[in-house]
Chains A and B, each alone.
Chain A
Amino acid sequence: MYFESLSAVWHMDGHGFYVWLAYAFTAIPLALTVWLPINRIRQHWRWLQAEQRRAASASSGSANEAGG
Chain B
Amino acid sequence: MYVAAKGGEEAIQQAERLYHDLKGKLTPEMVEQVEKGMPYLLDRIMGESSLYAPQLAALALAQAGGDTYEAVLILRAYRSTQPRLAYALPIDSNSMTVVRRISAAFKDIPGGQILGPTLDYSHRLLRLDVLDKELVAEDSGTAELQAADEPSPKQYPPVTDWQRTQKMLPELDSIENPEPADLPDLTREPIMFPTSRPHRLQALARADTGGLLALGYANMRGFGPVHPTVNEVRLSYARVQLKHPVTGTVFSVGNIRVSHAEVVQTTKASKDKVGLELGFCATFGWNEVKNIAGSMLDLAMDREDVHPAFTEEFVLYHTESVESSGFCIHLKLPHYVTFTSGMDAMKDAMMGVGMAQMPTSSKAFEKQDAKSPAPEADLETDEKVSPITAVESESETESEKEMS
A binds B: no
Interface residues of B (CB under 8 A from A): none
Interface residues of A (CB under 8 A from B): none
